[in-house]
Amino acid sequence: MLDTLKFFLFVVLLLITIILNQNVTSKKSGERDLSQFWKLENANGTLKMENLTLPSGVYTALEQGLIIESILDFKNDLTTKWIARDNWTYSLGLPCDLEDFNFTHVLLTLHGVDTFADIYLGDTLIGQTYNMFTRYRFNIKAKLKYECRHSLRLRLVIRSPVAEAASLSANYQSRKIVPECPPKVYNGECHVNLIRKMQASFSWDWGLSAPSMGIWKPVRLEFYNSVKIRDITFALSDEETHWSVLIGVYLEVGTSRRKINGTLTFKILGVEIPSEQQIIAVDETSNSFGELLVEHNLTIPRKDVNLWWPNGYGKATLYNLYVKWEDSQINNIRFHYRDTQIAEKIVRVGFRTIKLSQERTSDGLMFYFIVNDIPIFMKGSNWIPSSVLPESSYDENYVKFLLYAARDANMNMLRVWGGGVYESDYFYRLADELGILIWHDMMFACSTYPTNDEFLVNVAIEVHQNVRRIQHHPCVALWATNNENEVALRQNWYGTRLNEEAYVADYKKLYVNIIQPEILKVDKWRTVLISSPSNGDRSIEEDYYAKNPQDPRYGDVHYYNYVLDGWNPIIYRGGRFISEYGFQSFPAFTSWPIRDLDMNGLADLIEHRQHSPLRNGPILQMIEENLPMPTKNSSNYWRDIIYLSQVSQAMIVKTETEVYRSKRIEQGTMGALYWQLNDVWIAPSWSSIEYGGKFKILHYWMKAIFAQRHVVAYINAMKMLDIYLIRDTLGPNETWSVEVKVQRWNKFMPVEQLSYNLNVSKNTVVKLGSIDIYDHMNQKQLDAKEHILLIDVYRNDKRIAENFVFLGKVKQATQISNVNVNLNVASVSCNAASNIVKLSIEVTVNYPAVFVYLELTPENSALKQCQFSKNGFLQFKPIQTIYMQCVDMGCKSKIQSSDITVLTINQLMFQEDV
């Protein structure tokens, strides 16, 4: 009888357990993504759109609803200005799941609202947003429980950012925040520096005014009983035999102070962690915002992990770090359900050391990055948002395309510029995978900013949240608190000198006293620069306001020159690290959205979109200085000018970059990041990749310019030929053979050849020597301007590098011949699974061809992201094969040689109207 009773009780307990476990399934904590079925309308209700999906912005929604044409077309940046002067409401009917009310925490989390919004549940105002970069959380449990018996609607009433900025300016009590407005040629809006919004959204010298509004990141309902793991930070200390790892776990327990008790478990997948380090107990109280930081140390033997390396130096090895929270009462079934007491998060991490070294030299300070104990020359570009509309800037396919383009061009660093946005998690994850280091600005650029308490609190939260989110990524190399604001004050860009002391005090208050400490609260293991450009550690000695922030003996410099001949290498003064430099060109002729416009219409559109106050003058001046200039009445004037502008830009950036690479030993130059990688519309700009993904000639060239093994040669100030061999790889010494061929412009065979052999050690620059090339040619009775130098470098009989040197102006080379270029599509294949079509194209010439430029005709607009294996090249052999690939959805295109146009300098020199 007793045994029967025991069995009966066992069955009852088992049934209770099953019932409780069934409740676990229905009451599992987590998130509900509120991404679909949004409604948008303007203030007076005359414009309405239904069934919108997040991310969303007003401009994008209006275009999708066929209410406006794209803001990127024609002069629509002017015709759509009314949009940003209206107020707009996003609304959504909330699901009412009564079981959600039984959780301790029910939060509405807005990850990114652009920018000023009043948040309503039903008719109740539950909060406001006033920073595009900040995450906002609202405890809505009580409101939901009360209102859910009726239909409940979430509304975000988004106010005009243009009006808000103007209002803040009118009511600001201190000195003027300057510049108040952008230059008139920008066609922009005023006072963007008073609001925490993408600074470039009110216009920039490369971008249109698009004062966006919308919900550019997810909106989620979060519900749980215990905690949520929001962010994880990861810091390394490199010991002789092991890594000391400090992991920071940021827990959220609602929105108010609360006591929590439980355990955290740590695992790094693929790495053995001692059992005593895997689990820790937590018994603490959160802060008043419901947040708690828990830190934990791990010790990992160095032999157990592989290093993360930048692109070109090794594999970017990543590991999954897994963190799990379990509430201490998890096994007490009287009070809690198991699944509601667990929180988990995985982030990818890398094991690497990085240091910004600034040791003293005889004339200043060095400034270079050491990664895994290897000094590395940083090669790369500057990244602006991939779209001027924030809701589109997180497009993973386009971000992937751009980052792969950077990787394939041998870049190992990109600078996330301070007038854009803190990028998506996907951006940093992919940079981790590709080994692309990130120089990261905070989002402050080219301006003064307010320093009232409200603004400073707003900024502190923004910086703290974003650094927390990004910090664990091994790609992040350093933080800089702003772009060009120190040099703007020192050089009086905005007329601040009459009140300089006050403006400088505001500058230090914002960046030195607020932003820098907020970064260091989260990440004290990386260098924080107060500005870029700056004198680095020297700026600290000068109390963060250097006499010359552009001093080439310290820190980083930004260098632009629109007066001197940019093709001439002697104009480049160098520096320790050049974090901005570049020159403008026009996007391809076929890229302009001209429809039925004639050439006058195209000229007008180019003029409208040229935001540089210098207009097109520098572009045309550099063409006229070095290349044949078409006459303005030529029927092909703009086609030719656009092509020549891309040749000139490529030559200027090539020359400047190669000077910087060559000066690693002689001047301590250790970084070259040209301005800029990408664009936000089709317009004159400094980019190497057009908006949409078409490579300019410059980007084709960057692969060789940034190659791991490269030869650089140029004529120095003494009219001598300097030759440098550059090796950015590790390993034993290598023997390189160098051939310098003196080539006549109209002959395939060289006139003569000079040969050299040299040992090149790892990760360095070796100067082969200086050659009096002009004297040599005089002795050979050779006219320098009628010849070009072609330089090839071989290792083990395989060519590893090539380059060229002009001995005179291209436009003065009278022996350049009228060339016939014939194209033959030798093979075509298309992969139906990937939609990638690949072609091999035989290029045949009867004379050497100068800057051969290939482009698909507009009739092939269905093909996307087309790339040639090389472009804008010199062809000094009768035939060569060029490869091309495109995205061809459905593999429907039938490409023939007639679908590819060709331009050369030769052809332009023999046009009657040139």
Sequence-ordered list of residues with C-beta below 8 angstroms from that of 476, at least 6 positions apart, any chain: 428, 437, 438, 440, 470, 526
- 215, 158, 176, 169: which is closest to 195 by C-alpha? 169
**Residue 772 to residues 571, 663, 711, 715, 810: CA-CA distances in angstroms?**
20, 20, 18, 9, 21
Residue 863 corresponds to which tokens in the numbers above? 């093909």
* C-alpha–C-alpha distance, residues 477 and 660, integer Å: 21
**Residue 898 to residues 189, 857, 889, 903: CA-CA distances in angstroms?**
45, 8, 21, 14
Sequence-ordered list of residues with C-beta below 8 angstroms from that of 204, at least 6 positions apart, any chain: 182, 186, 188, 419, 611
E strands, 589-733, are 671-674, 709-715, 721-727
Q: φ and ψ at 35, to 5 degrees?
A: -100, -15
Task: Tell me whether residue 752 is one of the annotated catalytic residues.
Answer: no
Pairing of strands 836-845, 821-831: antiparallel
Task: Tell me whether residue 580 is one of the annotated catalytic residues.
Answer: yes
Sequence-ordered list of residues with C-beta below 8 angstroms from that of 154, at least 6 positions apart, any chain: 34, 91, 92, 93, 94, 108, 119, 120, 121
* C-alpha–C-alpha distance, residues 689 and 676, integer Å: 9
Burial class (CB in 10 A: 0-12, 13-18, 19+), 667: middle
Of 189, 222, 462, 484, catalytic: 484
Asked whether the CA dihedral 556, 559, 565, 566 is positive or negative, the reply is positive
* Amino acid identity at 849: A
Does an H or E element contain 566, and which?
A: none
Pairing of strands 378-383, 413-416: parallel
- 882, 812, 806, 809: which is closest to 844 by C-alpha? 882
Question: Torsion angle of alpha carbons 627, 633, 636, 641, nearest 10°?
Answer: 40
Q: φ and ψ at 585, to 5 degrees?
A: -150, 175
Look up tokens 């303005």; give the residue. Answer: 632
* C-alpha–C-alpha distance, residues 71 and 77, integer Å: 5
Rg (CA), the chain: 30
For residue 424, what is the DSSP state?
Answer: P
Half-sphere exposure of 215 (CA within 13 A, CB side): 28
* C-alpha–C-alpha distance, residues 448 and 444, integer Å: 9
Residue 616 corresponds to which tokens in the numbers above? 């097109």
* C-alpha–C-alpha distance, residues 229 and 345, integer Å: 7
* C-alpha–C-alpha distance, residues 49 and 62, integer Å: 8
* C-alpha–C-alpha distance, residues 655 and 713, integer Å: 9
* Amino acid identity at 353: T
Q: φ and ψ at 581, to 5 degrees?
A: -170, 160
Q: φ and ψ at 85, to 5 degrees?
A: -100, -5
Three-class DSSP category at 613: coil
For residue 440, what is the DSSP state?
Answer: E
* C-alpha–C-alpha distance, residues 114 and 131, integer Å: 7
* C-alpha–C-alpha distance, residues 706 and 672, integer Å: 10
Spatial strand order of the sheet with 30-33 comes to: 30-33, 219-224, 105-110, 136-139
For residue 230, what is the DSSP state?
Answer: E
* C-alpha–C-alpha distance, residues 624 and 604, integer Å: 21
Does an H or E element contain 128, and which?
A: strand 124-129
Of 580, 656, 658, 855, catalytic: 580
Active site residue ranges: 484, 580
